[in-house]
Structure 1
Amino acid sequence: MGAFPQTIHFIGTNTPRQQEYELEGLEVEGEIPAAIDGAFFRAVPDNAHAPMFDDDIALNHDGMIAKFDISGGKVSFGIKYVETERYLLEKAAGKALFGRYRNPFTDDPSVAGKDRTLANTTPVWHGGRLFMTKEDGRGYEVNPHTLETAGRWDYEGKLRSQTFTAHPRIDAETGEMFFFGYEAGGLCDPHVAYCIADADGNLVKEEWFEQPYPSTIHDFVITDHYAIFPIFPTLCDLDRLKAGGAHWAHHQDLPSYVGIMPRYGDVSEMRWVKGPIGVSCFHEVNAFEEGDTVHIDLCLTNTNAFAFMREAGGIDIPQQEIQGALTRWSVDMSADELALAERPLGPPGDLCRVEDAVQGRPYDRAWYLSMNPEAKGPPMLGGPVGANFNCLLRINPQTGQLAMMETPPGAAISEPAHVVSPEQGHGGWLLSVIDIPNGPPGAGDPADYSSEVWVIEADAIEKGPIAKIKTGKALRSQVHGTWVSREKLAASKLEG
């Protein structure tokens, strides 16, 4: 193919931009608090080349790392491609060489056995290093000052797993990072590697276990005493891949599971509990212990939210008919036979955030994205499911109390990052990119919009932004983002 297909994966906020650039002195409307001093990093997939197949998907686009550097109320911006092995091979060839999403059997023969990861999902900061991650391979280290790619990261040769999750969990008290890799031994391998890196970034633990079926495990959670692996019936199949088919197919007739083990224990201590049939979740909000009971809060839907994963499983459910809720799963760990209790907490949504300090501990507030049922006009096209979220929710999971921040008609909102306030009793701020149509919502070119960063009081989101950072650009859809303070940036292992 010489041009981009005009499918949902290449229009709206998925429109290819293919630009690396830097901007200084971005316009700021309002005032950014002086305590917001650091960098907001974003993972932004963007094709460097037209795809080999016209049914390509947004998750299969080259990784870019974007950075809003904020200090003294002034903001600069930069964006660069992550120079993975895949990116460099295609750059040298001047065209796409890697085929369908996570299917090496569809690649050009010249790249057989090469690293396929795009490093396009989550920027992760730990041990003084910045990584760009995608769960189909190992992470790539990126210089946080220059955004130059330092190279693939394998803990100085110590990591055996071929994959690294896009969603590690970091304990704010110990500084340790808990992470995993599924398909750890290679394509369609049912083994999962469970790992711990200490506060200095050294790999101190790696143990492998086998999951009940070879599923996609996008996220997991920790508590003070446990590591918890919720898994859902979206399965890979080697024969399907060899036939040129999809990596993932959702099975509506299979149960979900939760694997729970001591977080410092051995994988042989893993206990499995069966969950509801056919459900799906990509992101857990948090988990914590209450006596002997473990609570897991998750963004649950009654089927897989990605159309291409449903279709590969023969499931015909329109996107607008998917049901879901912010949900709590509870397990009494003192029971001889584990059982799962379920109750809804809040409206459906995803791309959730808690402040770092409460990771794995009881908490009284979380933020996540949803669809405003009273929004005027159609949602902005783009993102991996074809339509972007248009509002931000704040929830107290203990009381169910909700607050909502609306966006302009037809606008899209990306996952927020949380910035801690040094002021006692102040809840800090959220940073989120808002994409706003330049014309009437749904009436013009879906690629014609302007992106800005909103600075929002974390405990008063209903008041809207206290400052807006104008980019003058239309930015590609973000997957995930993270905030890194100036203090941490100054202590980074790589110099600018």
Structure 2
Amino acid sequence: MNTDLVAKFASTLPPDDDHPYRTGPWRPQTCEWDSDDLVAVEGEIPTDLDGVYLRNTENPLHPAFKAYHPFDGDGMLHIVGFRDGKANYRNRFVRTDGFLAENEAGGPLWPGIAEPVEWAKRDHGWGARTLMKDASSTDVTVHRGVALSSFYQCGDLYRIDPYTGDTLGTQGWVPPGLGVSAHPKVDDATGELLFFNYGKDAPYLHYGVVDESNTLVHYVDVELPGPRLPHDMAFTDNYVILNDFPLFWDAEFLKHNAHIPRLHRDMPSRFAVLPRRGGPGDVMWFEAETTYVLHFTNAFEDGDEIVLDGFFQGEPEPTEGAAFGMNPKWQRIFRGLSLDGMQTRLHRWRFNLVTGQTREEQLSDSITEFGMINSGFAGRPYRYTYAATGKPGWFLFEGLVRHDLHTGAEQRFAFGDGVYGSETAMAPRVGSRGEDDGYLVTLTTDMNADASYCVVFDAARVSDGPVCKLALPERISSGTHSTWAPGSELRRWRG
């Protein structure tokens, strides 16, 4: 492995830090690396795996003013490229305006999610709350050969070179003010990028379409009763599905500019279905059982019905906190982050466009989340979801599950005690002939070996274990969202 240290940043985090999401598996990195010819410590790199795996995560360099939340950290992109049976690795901080300003100042300038916005040391900021740092640390996708990193409560989309990890600036078509929420969707069939954003001013939600030439061609209001906290969306061939869940900022606290989310248990979940180029008058609303959904896996059309799959939370506002090794002073604050705390299970909603009725059903008894699919089937009928299992009581992924939605069968793999993974992207093999004909790629943080690895599985035989395991230059922080970009869709890839 040929490795170069590209940059090292100064951290102002306390040396005796005891925060559960800035230590242990979540210990932040300060170094940026270039590594070529990654060494396979197990197995061999498949020669028909061609493209780039990208993972984004929160990686703070500076403490919060008072109450750090794990979603506040600076964005860091990890990139593993595969070609001709070889692999390389890059990691880079996303050079957002907020990241650059705080590093120049040598400390925090904007409050995090658990802090009052009035604490901001600058009179400008980002996000649905306003006066937050645009960390761009949540999601990553690829559109027209360029990676786009995004922020969970809306911000600028940052353009990233998918080969080097270098930040190329912000995406120019982003509407002023609200920006874009995490989880914009790219339709492989049309080349379109679909997105939404939200805020505290009426109509509170907006939906937009960027075409295959990177032009904003559609941007409309979606009226809501008040400020909401949507996190994800879905689409089909002809429709887009947005949401209005009953977990949102408490209206009384909001009058005093305090952003405290609360579950309104007497309210239903609502889903907005509208044509992909539809206007405000085309929205059809459907009601369903009270819940909150962080992530949807897919949606498709079935006759007169829209079928939507995602992770239903049995307890969107956990009131019980189990220890599981976490310091008691942190348990109450972070009990809502664990998958077992939220009771997340794969779920299906059916919205009948003729009758206006909703039917729903639980698809699995297993507690999983962060589901990924073969992106070539996004918006269309599909069969497989690849999801993460969580360490009880913690926001850590300790294994993965292959859900077969036709038979209900599940294949499982556990990383092992002290080993934690990332969201698992599905990479179709070159010349793929089926939905599961390809590989699963993820990054792991191994606390036992004090090391990290890129791990590759056969997507059809997850329980067989990895087909190869590649050593990375240092142990990386635990992380979340990822994507896969085939080499065929990347400019200059073969060059």
1:285-317: CA deviations, max 9, x gaps?
Answer: 111111101111111112227889xx9x99998
Q: Does the alignment pair 1:331 with 2:351?
A: yes
Distance 1:48 1:268, change over 3 A: same
Distance 1:411 1:326 in 2: 24
1:438-471: CA deviations, max 9, x gaps?
Answer: 17xxxxxxxxx32211111111111111100111
Shift of 1:322: 4.1
Distance 1:13 1:253 in 2: 38
Q: Does the alignment pair 1:398 with 2:406?
A: yes
Counterpart residue number, 1:284: 296
Q: Does the alignment pair 1:176 with 2:192?
A: yes
Counterpart residue number, 1:125: 142
Counterpart residue number, 2:372: 353
Shift of 1:255: 2.1
Shift of 1:232: 1.7
Distance 1:468 1:205 in 2: 43
CA RMSD, aligned part only? 2.9
Q: 1:254 aligns with which of 259, 267, 285?
A: 267
Does structure 2 retain, via aligned residues, the 8 Å contact 1:414–1:478?
A: yes
Distance 1:249 1:364, change over 3 A: same
Structure 2: segments with no counterpart, 5+ residues: 1-11, 127-132, 321-329
Distance 1:369 1:255, change over 3 A: same
1:395-440: CA deviations, max 9, x gaps?
Answer: 121221221122223322211111112335351111011222317x
Does structure 2 retain, via aligned residues, the 8 Å contact 1:159–1:203?
A: no
Shift of 1:476: 1.0
Structure 1: segments with no counterpart, 5+ residues: 372-378, 440-448
Count of aligned positions: 461
Does structure 2 retain, via aligned residues, the 8 Å contact 1:132–1:139?
A: yes
TM-score where L is the length of structure 1 = 0.85
Counterpart residue number, 1:430: 440
1:1-20 pair list within 5 angstroms: 3=14, 5-20=17-32
Q: 1:416 aligns with which of 408, 412, 424?
A: 424
1:44 is paired with a residue of what secondary structure? strand
2:189 is paired with a residue of what secondary structure? coil
Distance 1:49 1:238, change over 3 A: farther
Does structure 2 retain, via aligned residues, the 8 Å contact 1:128–1:201?
A: no
1:29-83: CA deviations, max 9, x gaps?
Answer: 2111112122211102111212211x21100001111211222222222211111
Counterpart residue number, 1:450: 451
Distance 1:25 1:247, change over 3 A: farther
TM-score where L is the length of structure 2 = 0.85
Counterpart residue number, 1:62: 74
Counterpart residue number, 1:297: 309
Does structure 2 retain, via aligned residues, the 8 Å contact 1:300–1:326?
A: yes
Distance 1:246 1:229, change over 3 A: same
Does structure 1 retain, via aligned residues, the 8 Å contact 2:443–2:453?
A: yes
1:74-110: CA deviations, max 9, x gaps?
Answer: 222221111111111111111111113286724343x
Counterpart residue number, 1:388: 396
Distance 2:427 2:335 in 1: 41
Distance 1:317 1:246 in 2: 16
Distance 1:9 1:240, change over 3 A: farther
Does structure 1 retain, via aligned residues, the 8 Å contact 2:318–2:336?
A: no
Q: Which amino acid aligns with 1:138?
A: D
Identity across the alignment (%)? 25
1:217 is paired with a residue of what secondary structure? coil
Distance 1:318 1:460, change over 3 A: closer
1:64 is paired with a residue of what secondary structure? strand
1:44-193 pair list within 5 angstroms: 44-53=57-66, 55-101=67-113, 105-109=117-121, 111-115=122-126, 116-135=133-152, 136-155=154-173, 159-160=175-176, 162-183=178-199, 187=200, 190-193=203-206
Does structure 2 retain, via aligned residues, the 8 Å contact 1:255–1:276?
A: yes
Shift of 1:198: 1.0
Q: Does the alignment pair 1:211 with 2:230?
A: no
Distance 1:255 1:68, change over 3 A: same
Shift of 1:331: 1.4
Distance 1:32 1:206, change over 3 A: same
Counterpart residue number, 1:445: none
Distance 1:296 1:480, change over 3 A: same
Shift of 1:149: 1.6
Does structure 1 retain, via aligned residues, the 8 Å contact 2:145–2:162?
A: no
Shift of 1:133: 0.7
Distance 2:178 2:309 in 1: 29
1:91 is paired with a residue of what secondary structure? helix
1:59 is paired with a residue of what secondary structure? coil
1:201 is paired with a residue of what secondary structure? coil
